[in-house]
Amino acid sequence: MTSPGVGLGWRPPLARFAADLPGLAGSGFAEVIAETLHRPDPALLELRDRGARIVPHGVRLSLGGAAPVEPERVAHLAHCAELLGAPLVSEHVAFVRAGGLEAGHLLPVPRSRAALDALTRNIRLTRAELDVPLAVEPIAALFDWPDDEYTEGDFLTELLDRTGALLLLDVANVYANARNRGRDPVKELESFPLDRVAYCHVAGGGEHDGYYHDTHTHALPEEVLALVGEAGRRTTAGLGYLLERDGNYPPAAALRAELDAIADAAGLARIT
């Protein structure tokens, strides 16, 4: 894998902004929601043709579900990787459906042996159909299940050992989960299998009713940027650090400032 850079979550409202970033197709990279790629935007394909590294990021596979992953969803993820010439693909340590019902959200799995077995099966089924590596992302969750048998770090370590998957480390999720549980985010970070990091997410959030929410619509808090610095000192982060924005898009100058702040915190070259 090439040296780490700074990336941007590709969204249609950010297409022109992404095209104008001088380093995105050089030292940077992009990520696109795989489920939006049934009819790829020509602007995204143009970015691919300029040499950008683009990662399909799945949100509907339900790796943590009790049922086996649906073959057509896995096939679509594999197709996205081929279409984009992707270096890898990513999905979540979560479930989104159960008993025929769609939640519409990423839901946390209990950190139990049974959940570990289900994740292991589904990740192995998925990896068998992919020609590129798979990275899995632990999510931000407002609660822990009462029957948890592992810490999050130990759970992830065993999961990666069993499956050979890589880790998509969402620094903002680590911060959110630690803050909402009254824990030290640096210690939480250090408990993760940091030698297996494929790349990192960074995003903004805000507090509501006493909880910190990873919204992807707020500016980056200084605390999250500080944790990016801590992560940068502990891992090479594979592809690098990617800014996620999913609404409330600020002016281009503010977005550029956030990308620069991530690069500075991680000790990487700016792409702006």
Query: Does 272 fall in a domain?
Result: no
Quick check: is 197 in a domain?
yes
**Band (148; pLDDT cuts 50, 70, 90):** very high
Q: What pLDDT sits at residue 40?
A: 87
Q: Which helix (H) or strand (E) holds 81?
A: helix 71-84
What whole-number distance in Å separates Cα of residue 260 and Cα of residue 254?
10
**Number of domains making up the chain:** 1
Domain limits for position 231: 5-266
Position 31 in a domain: yes
- Percentage of the chain modeled with pLDDT above 70: 99
Task: Give the span between the Cα atoms of 237 and 199, in whole angstroms.
Answer: 5
- Per-residue pLDDT reduced to its tens digit, 56-75: 999 999 999 999 999 999 99
Return the pLDDT at 237: 86
- Specify the residue for token string 């924005």: 245
Full-model pTM: 0.97
> For residue 271, is it within any domain?
no
Q: Is it the case that residue 219 has pLDDT exceeding 70?
A: yes
Q: In this model, does residue 103 exceed pLDDT 90?
A: no
Identify the bridge partners of residue 91 per DSSP, sorted by sequence position: 136
Computed over every residue of the chain, the mean pLDDT equals: 96
Q: Is the pLDDT of residue 258 over 60?
A: yes
CB 167 within 8 A of CB 201: no
52 DSSP assignment: -
Count other Cβ atoms within 10 Å, centred on residue 189.
Answer: 20
pLDDT at residue 223, rounded to an integer: 98
**Could you give the angle at the alpha carbon of 32 between the alpha carbons of 29 and 38, nearest 5°?**
140
For residue 163, what pLDDT is reported?
Answer: 98
Q: What is the pLDDT of residue 1?
A: 53
User: What pLDDT is attached to residue 98?
Assistant: 85
Look up residue 124 and give its two tokens: 């192995």
What is the CATH classification number for the domain harbouring 207?
3.20.20.150
Res 143 pLDDT > 60: yes
Q: How far is CA 259 from CA 3, 18, 24, 216, 221, in A?
A: 17, 11, 11, 14, 13
Lowest mean pLDDT among 2-6, 61-65, 83-87: 2-6
Any domain includes 96: yes
